[in-house]
Amino acid sequence: MMRRTSLFLFGAAAGALVAFTVVQPRLFLGMAAEAASSDTYRQLDLFGDVFARVRSDYVEKPEDSKLVESAIKGMLQDLDPHSSYMDAKTYHDMQVQTSGEFGGLGIEVKMEDGLVKVIAPMEDTPAAKAGVMAGDLITKLNDEQVQGMTLTEAVDKMRGEVGTPIRLTISRKGIEKPFEVKVTRAVIKIQAVRSKVEQDDIAYIRINQFTQQTNAGLEKAIDNLTGEIGADKIRGYIIDLRNNPGGLLTQAVEVSSAFLDRGEVVSTRGRNPEESLRYNARGGDRTKGKPVIVLVNGGSASASEIVAGALQDHKRATVLGSRTFGKGSVQTIIPLGRDGENGALRLTTARFYTPSGRSIQAKGIDPDIILVQDLPDEEKAKLGAPGDGRSESSLKGHLKNGEEEQTGSPAYVPPEAKDDTQLKLAVDLMKGTVKNAAFPAAAEKTSRAN
């Protein structure tokens, strides 16, 4: 019997994953009979022959464990773009990512010219309290040079046990010499949800990914915005799912439920009919029926597409932007060994469907109001031919979905709000300064308010 834990619904859109749910262990019926077939034995004999020949004749003595691991990786990678083998460390990192919290410093970073550059310190974290600023270049971690490390290696060194210190050597523009900052690690919660008030009475909520913290973050954002604007004065909600690569299926269901009183959110269908599952909204509409606009683009994948598809099918929200990524399959995480000591399999086990029965695999969600974000010249150069965009249908070996597969759309959100044409249109629709038949609710609300 194989023990499986989580289903992932992260898309490959932004170097990401797929959504999760917990399923019960089950027996793989028929496996013994299949393994007993002479053809299967012949294939296993072939693998054994190749393995033995490589061990004995390769120019340098290989490690048996590496050979087996490489064989497993090759077997899974040849299935589809989302099935893979994770070694123990990668499996642990995945668990940290989806938990939404870890021991660390509280900074968003990227690699620039071989050094770690701070994008921004998170509010009220050790890094922010120690004076780390956006734009800082981290040149050393304790006494170890960052130059030569990968970003993953550097991040691993900055994370660690809560309460332990680390010294950062920082180079800052305007300061002649690098200086040291001592930071003590604390529990860091990834801010999966950000919110703000737009135009005095519009609640804007940005969901970055679907971790274990997402629904709690959404509830807090709704409560805070309601308190700030006033329950009777909120004109509507803009839910920004652009460039959200996905996350936990359970969280996608919870987020959808925050805007629905009842009904199906998503269904999954596996190889065997008895594995089909349906997930229904629960808890009731926390927004009291206020108008909702969901922003999507080519970087909105998997769990994001579940939310957009559910709210679109129930006519609870108007979806605005450009076609989504098209990640319509579910991956089950199967730990190997005790607590994943031998790593884990990420195995595609099902496809998911919107409440109306739509499969978005290699097709994506088409918005009710299509508006492709204007791209600067450097982004156009990266994109290639007009209309192209990285999508599920562009991935080698993707699960096919008939003859109606679609290409993707740009996954670009301007850093400056003044250049964000998709957000501007959403605000104008909410305000009623722009009319569109796909969003009648705003016009109705505006006439009542007047």
**Is 189 one of the annotated active-site residues of the chain?**
no
d(Cα 151, Cα 405) in Å, to the nearest integer?
A: 35
3-state secondary structure of 148: coil
DSSP labels, 229-273 = H-TTT--EEEEE-TT--EEEHHHHHHHHHTT-SSSEEEEEEESSG
To the query of whether residue 302 is one of the catalytic residues in this protein, the response is: yes
Spot the catalytic one: 195, 257, 300, 302.
Answer: 302
Tokens, residue 130: 């120690």
In what side-by-side order are the strands of the sheet with 193-198?
A: 193-198, 202-207, 236-240, 292-296, 318-321, 369-370
The candidate with the shortest Cα–Cα distance to 249, out of 278, 217, 287, is 278
Burial of residue 217 (CB within 10 Å: 0-12, 13-18, 19+) is buried
Considering 136, 313, 368, 420, which one is annotated as catalytic? 313
Which phi-psi region, left, alpha or beta, contains residue 440 (left: φ > 0; alpha: ψ -120 to 50)?
Answer: alpha
Query: For residues 93 and 86, what is the distance between their CA atoms, to the nearest angstrom?
Result: 10
User: Does residue 39 carry a catalytic annotation?
Assistant: no
Distance, in Å, from the CA atom of 353 to the CA atom of 345, rounded to the nearest integer, reads 23
Burial label for 147, CB within 10 Å (0-12, 13-18, 19+), is: exposed
Q: Of the residues 327, 359, 363, 368, which is catalytic?
A: 327
Q: Which residue is listed with tokens 């629905």?
A: 260
| C-alpha–C-alpha distance, residues 3 and 111, integer Å | 37
- What residues act catalytically? 302, 313, 327
